[in-house]
Amino acid sequence: MRHYLDHAATTPMRPAAREAWLEASEEGGNPSSLHAAGRQARARLEDARERIAASLGAHPTEVVFTSGATEANNLAIKGGVWASIDADPGRRRLVTTQVEHHASLDPARWLAVGHQVPVVELAVDATGLLGLDALAREFDGHASQTALVSVQWVNNEVGTVQPIGAVVALATSAGVPVHSDAAQAIAYEGVDFAASGLATMAVSAHKFGGPVGVGALVARRDVRLVPLNHGGGQERRVRSGTLDVPGAVAFAVALEQAVATREVERARLTRLATRLIEGVGTSCPTGVLSGPEPGTSRPTSGGGVGVRAPHIVHFAFPGANADALLYGLDSRCIDASQGSACTAGVVQASHVLIAMGRSEADATSTIRFSLGWTSTEADVDAVIAVIPEVVERARR
């Protein structure tokens, strides 16, 4: 029996979402076509859009379908900065953090290198938390030059939850819009787009039980974006391409289930994560837990709050190479990852841990266990049982 603990990379499709996808896939029609089949496809697509919007606290016209959070982040960051420059060439500065997912960090660095965009990557503390006082200082004398702030809601590697509400409040008072990659937040945090004050937000269906290859950029109706690709202009004229109707339908079903069970699942996974943290800490005491302490909610400099997402448990095992750890776990029927799964399958030092002040050696000795809707106590107990031997062998 295999034990899947890599839900932060992708979580299995929920049965209801799979059934919805299969049913929708039996129907033909391009939603941009004007014949009967096309109109029926358009009706299914718009129904899915409305359901997704309702689940996210957004208006249906604010949901722009994409292939996932990577495309959504690129559209928000590149498209948002370019639109700002078009309106005011002096307003081109981008503020982000050192611990963003590569789907946000790499577009920012690409803009810096190739498009003369000044990019500020703010430091974080030892738990991965952004300091609000540091963010506030970035607006002193620079607010009128700043096009966008981009902060990931929940860190995908160590599970640190950023104080998005406070980030938005600071930026809004300076007249600066905020984008957030919310891919890891949707299933377990209280995400309400309208209440958040965000300008844009990235979502990916496969993070909460929907299909791979479909997601959305949720963008306020007053937000201007420059398209990244050009064609039919199907989505608000900022995202071209024939839309995936079955994917959108399954996306809506999975999201509704995730939101409906959010509080129950948060409590359940918190218990499982605590069991895992305590078990690994006892059986392999040389392991070092990354991120905020379990169950903590502490004030920080600038008024932030350091809390841990319920589904991510990240350890560094000094002296044990991540390659060897992964292969050792895999050979014992346990699926885990080093951290982000979106770096072409290459094991490399975690930029997140390095930003948190850890050594290069520690940043290449990490394992992320992530939980989801299929996780059980048996999955957790399997890790606890084998981790001492796996770490010992990896160190040898």
Q: What pLDDT is stored for residue 336 in this prediction? A: 97
Half-sphere exposure of 392 (CA within 13 A, CB side): 7
At 158, list the tokens: 């160590």
Distance between CA atoms of residues 317 and 345, nearest Å = 20
Distance between CA atoms of residues 233 and 142, nearest Å = 34
H-only helix segments in the chain? 15-25, 36-56, 69-87, 102-114, 132-139, 164-173, 193-196, 245-260, 262-283, 322-331, 351-355, 360-363, 377-395
CB–CB of 75/228 below 8 Å?
A: yes
Distance between CA atoms of residues 284 and 96, nearest Å = 35
pTM for this one? Answer: 0.95
Q: pLDDT digit of tens for each residue in the chain (396 aa)?
A: 999 999 999 999 999 999 999 999 999 899 999 999 999 999 999 999 999 999 999 999 999 999 999 999 999 999 999 999 999 999 999 999 999 999 999 999 999 998 999 999 999 999 999 999 999 999 998 999 999 999 999 999 999 999 999 999 999 999 999 999 999 999 999 999 999 999 999 999 999 999 999 999 999 999 999 999 999 999 999 999 999 999 999 999 999 999 999 999 999 999 999 999 999 999 999 999 999 988 654 433 334 446 999 999 999 999 999 999 999 999 999 999 987 554 545 667 899 999 999 999 999 999 999 999 999 999 999 999 999 999 999 999
What architecture (CATH level 2) is domain 3-12+262-395? Answer: Alpha-Beta Complex (3.90)
CATH class of 15-258: alpha beta
CB–CB of 52/63 below 8 Å?
A: yes
Q: What pLDDT is stored for residue 295 in this prediction? A: 67
The amino acid occupying position 141 is G
How many CB atoms within 10 Å of residue 150? 27
Residues ≥6 apart with Cβ < 8 Å to 112: 94, 118, 119
Distance between CA atoms of residues 275 and 294, nearest Å = 11
C-alpha distances in Å from residue 266, one per residue of 6, 180, 182: 17, 21, 16
C-alpha distances in Å from residue 186, one per residue of 96, 180, 216, 324: 20, 12, 12, 32
Residue 263, judged by CB atoms within 10 A of its CB (0-12, 13-18, 19+), counts as: exposed
CB–CB of 171/149 below 8 Å?
A: yes
Give the single-character DSSP code of 192: -
Choose among 196, 231, 201, 234: nearest CA to 217: 201
239 DSSP β-pair partners? 235
DSSP 51-63: HHHHHHT--GGGE
Catalytic residue among 174, 288, 342, 354: 342
293 φ/ψ sector (left φ>0, alpha ψ -120 to 50, else beta): beta
Would residue 284 show up in a list of annotated catalytic residues for this protein? no
- Residue ranges per structural domain of the chain: 3-12+262-395, 15-258
Measured distance between the N- and C-terminal CA atoms of the chain, rounded to whole angstroms: 27
Distance between CA atoms of residues 329 and 389, nearest Å = 10
